[in-house]
Structure 1
Amino acid sequence: MNRFQNFKNGLLKDNPVFSLYLGICSTLAITTSVNNGLGMGVAVICVLIMSNVIISLVRNITPEEIRIPVYIVIIATLVKIIQMLIEAYAPALNTSLGVFIPLIVVNCIILGRAEAFASKHGVLDSALDGLGMGLGYTLAVTSMSLIREVLSTGMINLVNPFDETQVLFNIRILPDDYVISMFSSPVGAFVTFAILAALVSVYKNHAGQKVAAKEVK
């Protein structure tokens, strides 16, 4: 598989949330607003790229017996750095995401890519894999956040993460009479996730059938 194909697969075909079903806990919890989805997505992208690159660099000098603890220490250090930066420069985002920022350490996507890809490939390939998977995760959480925020509040409200008093974008999509408050609850998160995961599965099945038909011809 070439580099571009591997990068592209992380966006949809091997999307970490809707195809590989990784990182679902944080996805269900934080996707109440587009601000949360974008903020968590950017944080995960940064950690994925940096952890993949570092683990790729040290893979040949890391003893097999302690590779997992080494990966966890690297990931935990990077997450702490990201958390401190968010606390310092994006207090509004830090307040809304809360405990889920440090919990990136135990996000299955991060350790999964470290073990499955970065530990077996070079730096450039690992960086592209981290970017592709990170963008796939961001696409997943942002799409869920957008659907849930619109259905539960009737509007999209983007706030500057560096200044919570500054509204970047605010538009009403649905009248108040048509909002469905259920989508701000855990039930709404599960329903939204199930529908989007089903749509991705339908797309993958359709694409697989097209490839199979071409091979028959």
Structure 2
Amino acid sequence: MATDSRVDFRERSLQGLWKNNPALVQLLGLCPLLGVSSSVVNALGLGLATLVVLVCSNLLVSLFRRTVPDAIRLPVFVMIIASMTTCVELVMQAWAYELYKVLGIFIPLIVTNCIILGRADAFASRNAPLPAILDGVMMGLGFAAVLIILGGLRELIGQGTLFANMDFLFGPTAASWELTVIPDYKMFLFAILPPGAFVFMGLLIAIKNITDARLEKARKASQDTPATGSKRVRVTG
């Protein structure tokens, strides 16, 4: 049983972080992904909010999966997601109000994020709480990772800085975290605006596809090598 648990953890992790990444493979949640990721702090804030909603929603959907009739399954899932989103929104208003004002409408729009509803219906409603939580964590981390990478690229190329305005999320002590990578940098507005988000997102998807193709080629080569080697041994004998 312990071995099965480890295999499942590894597979769930690979699915969420790489193989079935919700942003790079499923192409879900692109509206907030492209709209908010103009800086690291914006991306991190939305990524954490989405992660919390996803994990909590998966847990509740899994707990009530046997008691919710199929006829009202989706409305109940939406209500659960909306409740979790409201809780996260209130917490952000209380503890990170400046960031909440920056993210604006994208926090309430977590309710309509296809990643959360899709995982609730496709996985959490059919599995026990622990696998559902694990799936939520890994899918949320995969989405947040793409958000942060995209935000870092756009902030660096657009403004020449990294980790600007981190005090919006972590308080006044984080104001000194800003790194000026390129001094006296003239802003590259294209990278900060939505068209730049589309370009950088396309580059990330292309990099993943190229990496997957090379890994698959290397895997096939490693499978062919022993057979070739064994033939050579027989011929020499």
| Shorter-chain TM-score range | over 0.9
Pairing 1:147–2:153 present: yes
Deviations 1:7-49 (A, max 9, x none): 2321122111011101011100000110001101110110111
User: Please, which of 72, 78, 89 is the counterpart of residue 72 of structure 1?
Assistant: 78
Question: How big is the shift at 1:61?
Answer: 1.0
Report the equivalent of 2:139: 133
Question: How big is the shift at 1:181?
Answer: 1.9
Report the equivalent of 2:65: 59
Pairing 1:83–2:82 present: no
Structure 2 gap segments, 5+ residues each: 1-6, 228-237
Q: Which amino acid aligns with 2:208?
A: V
Percent of aligned pairs sharing the same letter: 35
Report the equivalent of 1:180: 188
Report the equivalent of 1:97: 103
The 3 A distance-change label for structure 1 pair 118 and 214 is farther
RMSD (Å) for aligned C-alpha atoms: 1.7
Who wins on radius of gyration, i.e. which is larger? 2
Pairing 1:159–2:166 present: yes
Kept in 1: contact 2:159–2:185 (CA 8 A): no
Kept in 2: contact 1:153–1:176 (CA 8 A): no
Structure 1 gap segments, 5+ residues each: none
The 3 A distance-change label for structure 1 pair 5 and 151 is same
**TM-score (ref. length: structure 2):** 0.86
Report the equivalent of 1:200: 208
Kept in 2: contact 1:92–1:163 (CA 8 A): no
Kept in 1: contact 2:159–2:186 (CA 8 A): no
Question: How big is the shift at 1:215?
Answer: 4.8
Pairing 1:108–2:114 present: yes
The 3 A distance-change label for structure 1 pair 64 and 197 is same
Question: How big is the shift at 1:165?
Answer: 8.6
User: Please, which of 89, 113, 121 is the counterpart of residue 127 of structure 2?
Assistant: 121
DSSP 3-state at the match of 2:158: helix
DSSP 3-state at the match of 2:68: coil
Question: How big is the shift at 1:214?
Answer: 4.4
Question: How big is the shift at 1:168?
Answer: 4.0
